[in-house]
Structure 1
Amino acid sequence: MFVSLALVGGLLAGCSGNGNNSGASGGTEGASGEKAEKKVTLTFWRNSGNDAENSAYDKLVASFMEKYPNIKVEMSPIPYSDYDTKLRTSIASGNPPDIMAIDAPNMASYAHAGALKPLTSYFQADGDLQDIPESTINTYTYNKEIYMSPLTESSIALFYNKKLFEEKGIPLPSKNPEEPWTWDQVLDAAKKINDPGKGIFGIDPAQGFNNAGATAYFKYPIVWQFGGEVMSPDGTTSKGYLDSPETKKALQFFSDLYNTEKVSALEYPPDPFPNGKLGITVDGSWSLSYLTEKFPNFKLGVDYDIAPLPKGTRQAVANGSWALGISAKSKNPDEAWKFVNWVTSAEGQKTYVGITKDIPVRYSAAKEFPELNEYPKNIFVVQDQKFGRSRPITPIFPQMSEAVNKLFEEVTIGKRNIDAAVTDAIQKIDKAYSDLPAK
């Protein structure tokens, strides 16, 4: 079942103004004339995570209710596969949760539909904005309003097989997050490592061809690194951006890895990197624990190492993860902000990250964990803080992302003419925006 945000927007249009009928200082006068705080129950929906994530949220909810005994938080973890549909259905039916977790790229569609309460004034009052990178705040901003409060980040970097590099006499990349290799250097190394006869491939540049969301996270940075763009800053069109010479150069380079240089493959054997069948891969911070757990004999610093993402003309990495927003229909938005601010504050992030081992968004929280300020995790942290960029902030993100995913497939797998493929992608994206119901 899919509930469109066009339907959500239509239903919300007749329900606006219901979100501000109580404040944090609300209460009732007692016989003595003293103001007694009212009892409030907040509903909080989030996608259910792994055991560590669930434990971290349990601890944060419990500590919040201990601090604010008059506010009860009813948390509902919902399986990831069902979450978005259930959330959209609850909004369309007029019964959304007070607080909701939303993945960063989907924020604009919810905000455009009027489903989220702007948080800008709350942040300005006590959200400690200066503790969050500006590029991160921009990721949760739509039409000049902040709509969500971020908790953690993830990031991607260049993973390379150290032994294969040494066997081929290839100098090792710098571990300094601000001294990346160029893509030309990466290609040169991949060509030297590539050995089809032995089943060894040079590079997987962007985790193959998965769903559109993976395309956005892994492939858009390549476009940015070559100086290109995907959409206009206001998220309304791809014309003049996806068809720029810089973007086309990035697409050509990506396609050439497979079709001209032949250092990348459309299919790889299982776990090619730790099994010595892949010299270079672009992978996420989450893979460190996976490699440690599943391949204990494939050791960081001995068998493989990590370097910052390559650049063409500039450094860039996609930012944005799951964050917390407040329903536009919440009857207790001020109390909801108290909870959101509690969870995503520096102390909240330290509690959460101390359990999950994720990367906190706030500068101050990141400084509290020595491992985040040392190799290899400092690479992910510094990239996010200094070179992070939001994926296009647009209410048609799913349609846009699908069109760009198809574009990468057509020029690489289908070997289609780049100009023709780009023109079709722009038409799909711009039509999706023109079909968007007015707010």
Structure 2
Amino acid sequence: MSILARNLPVAALGVAGALALAACGGGGTSAGPTGSAATTSGGKTKVTMWTHNAGNEVELKLVQQVTNDYNASQDKYEITVQAFPQASYNDAVVSAAASKNLPCLLDVDAPIMPSWAYAKYLQPLTVDAKLTDPLLPGVKGIYDDKLYSVGFYDAALGILARKSVLEDNDIRIPTVDQPWTLEELDAALAKIKASGKYDYPLSLATGWTGEWYPYAYSPLLQSFGGDLINRTDLSTAEGVLNGPQAIKWGQWFQGLFKNKLANPKESVDGTDFVQGKAAMQWAGSWSVGDAIKKYGDDTLILPPPNLGKQPYIGAGSWQWGMSATCQTPEAVNGWISFALQDKYLSAFSEQLGNLPASAGAQALGKKFKEGTKESTYLELARKYALIRPPTPAYPFIAKTFEKAAADIIAGANVQDTLNAAVDAIDKNLAENNNYQ
């Protein structure tokens, strides 16, 4: 799941359906009856693309438009889009990789990319650096010092709030350069709770699960000074996920729910703020449009708090890469390069509500244009974004952290829970020779 792009599927075929599609739809460059590359009636080589966007009509339409335009722009390749529901997409890729039947072009959730590169599902891209250098750092998938994937947008987290609520409770309005400290945040939540006007002062969207947990909650851990893994050599979680700063995070995080400052069992729609049930929400850039529709100029986008070390938010959303078995790399690199035009990047940002990947795309659009409320999210991404650990172990780390965070929310002993998470992560690393 990529909660960053809010691409939750409207309908799903299920894993079995995805695997069936995988069995008949891969192959990268489509093969003809004699085993040679299949061609169109016009002589173009057919190339297959896979995307997770079957449940996201808006994004799928944008991907198809870019592909149609690219196909019309040159006479060598014809790229065909095949869409999967997001819930079963990763399973389809893994199955196809095992049978060496991957398509040439496929999208990948940014934190998963190192795992796919390590497993040799992917090969590096050769997109011109002149096209990628101006992009937001979070849209470039780097592993082992090589570019494996490129995204067309990013997302950012911030605190949605209302100016009137903060002023009524005599709470300082933080700025990008001067976020709330831990003490200020705690005091603000206490004041709002004391007002008695809200079910909970803060929404943490606990109804969203999966990748949301490490994306949303590990930056709070990192702000305390902990982390999911030691980033120096990516060989252990000992001392960073269960050290003193991590314990402080866990106790504070648990206290939010224990003291009824946040709801441990929110609904999956994540709309407590716009429904008036919560005074503030830890929310992504995809949520700000609904907030502004509801509260207008009263809407505030506040920076992440400084909980001890410095503020952090996550970075990295869905990106595009090339399978290791692709025999037409020119087509993949060409399609990605073509898609990085500002007009396309602007369209993805405007229609999906995600951050424009380039300054040119920002200037073309309206939602994130300099001076708008939404542009605050771009400032936050540039100043405080931290990618999730770029290790092939990340999928395992993410699931382990999700369980640990859920257990802490439910009231489990913080030290024991984090120790167990560290033991599980380090065991996985050891069993895989630290993915070297």
Please list every run of at least 4 consecutive aligned residues from structure 1 whose deviation after the TM superposition is greater than 6 angstroms: none
Partner of 1:25: none
Write out per-residue CA displacement over residues 347-367 of structure 1, whole angstroms, 9 at most, x where no aligned residue.
431343354443122233223
**Range that drifts further, 383-392 or 92-101:** 383-392
Taking the TM superposition and a 5 Å limit, the aligned residue runs for 1:255-404 are 255-259=254-258, 261-268=259-266, 271-291=271-291, 296=293, 298-302=294-298, 304-312=299-307, 313-372=309-368, 373-404=370-401
- Contact map agreement 2:254 2:411 (CA 8 A) in 1: no
Cα distance between partner residues in 2 of 1:136 and 1:349: 11
Partner of 2:217: 219
DSSP 3-state at the match of 1:191:
helix
Partner of 2:111: 105
Report the AA paired with residue 239 of structure 2.
Answer: G
Report the AA paired with residue 156 of structure 2.
Answer: S
- Contact map agreement 2:272 2:278 (CA 8 A) in 1: yes
**Range that drifts further, 386-395 or 236-245:** 236-245
Cα distance between partner residues in 1 of 2:397 and 2:80: 35
Percentage of identical aligned residues: 21
- Contact map agreement 1:98 1:330 (CA 8 A) in 2: yes
Gaps of 5+ in 2: 1-13, 17-27, 30-41
Cα distance between partner residues in 1 of 2:404 and 2:291: 31
Write out per-residue CA displacement over residues 256-292 of structure 1, whole angstroms, 9 at most, x where no aligned residue.
2223x44223235784322322122101111123346
User: Given the two structures, how large is their TM-score scaled by the length of structure 1?
Assistant: 0.82
1:130 aligns with 2:133: yes
**Range that drifts further, 214-223 or 153-162:** 153-162
- Contact map agreement 1:136 1:388 (CA 8 A) in 2: no
**Range that drifts further, 372-381 or 231-240:** 231-240
Taking the TM superposition and a 5 Å limit, the aligned residue runs for 1:63-102 are 63-102=69-108
- Contact map agreement 2:52 2:89 (CA 8 A) in 1: yes
Report the AA paired with residue 43 of structure 1.
Answer: T
Q: CA deviation at 1:152?
A: 0.6
Cα distance between partner residues in 1 of 2:130 and 2:322: 14
DSSP 3-state at the match of 1:114:
coil
1:58 aligns with 2:90: no
Report the AA paired with residue 184 of structure 1.
Answer: E
**Range that drifts further, 367-376 or 140-149:** 367-376
The RMSD of aligned alpha carbons is: 2.7
Report the AA paired with residue 152 of structure 1.
Answer: Y
Q: CA deviation at 1:71?
A: 1.1
Q: CA deviation at 1:135?
A: 5.3
Partner of 1:178: 177
Q: CA deviation at 1:197?
A: 6.1
- Contact map agreement 1:193 1:200 (CA 8 A) in 2: no
**Range that drifts further, 324-333 or 61-70:** 61-70
Write out per-residue CA displacement over residues 229-280 of structure 1, whole angstroms, 9 at most, x where no aligned residue.
2112243321232123222222222122223x44223235784322322122
- Contact map agreement 1:97 1:330 (CA 8 A) in 2: yes
DSSP 3-state at the match of 1:263:
coil
- Contact map agreement 2:229 2:241 (CA 8 A) in 1: yes
Cα distance between partner residues in 2 of 1:45 and 1:63: 17
- Contact map agreement 1:151 1:344 (CA 8 A) in 2: yes
Cα distance between partner residues in 1 of 2:139 and 2:81: 26
Partner of 2:422: 426
Q: 1:411 to 1:355 in 2, by over 3 A?
A: closer
- Contact map agreement 2:285 2:353 (CA 8 A) in 1: no
- Contact map agreement 1:173 1:181 (CA 8 A) in 2: yes
Cα distance between partner residues in 2 of 1:330 and 1:412: 45
Report the AA paired with residue 255 of structure 1.
Answer: Q
- Contact map agreement 1:156 1:283 (CA 8 A) in 2: yes
- Contact map agreement 1:102 1:324 (CA 8 A) in 2: yes
Q: 1:421 to 1:357 in 2, by over 3 A?
A: closer
Partner of 2:51: 46
Cα distance between partner residues in 1 of 2:52 and 2:146: 24
Q: CA deviation at 1:210?
A: 3.9
Q: CA deviation at 1:195?
A: 4.6
Cα distance between partner residues in 2 of 1:420 and 1:286: 35
- Contact map agreement 2:179 2:305 (CA 8 A) in 1: yes
Taking the TM superposition and a 5 Å limit, the aligned residue runs for 1:112-191 are 112-119=118-125, 122-123=126-127, 125-134=128-137, 136-137=139-140, 140-174=141-175, 177-191=176-190
Cα distance between partner residues in 2 of 1:200 and 1:333: 54
User: Given the two structures, how large is their TM-score scaled by the length of structure 2?
Assistant: 0.82
DSSP 3-state at the match of 1:148:
strand
Write out per-residue CA displacement over residues 175-230 of structure 1, whole angstroms, 9 at most, x where no aligned residue.
xx3332223212211101115966531222x3226423111111011012222221
Q: 1:354 to 1:274 in 2, by over 3 A?
A: closer
Partner of 1:32: none
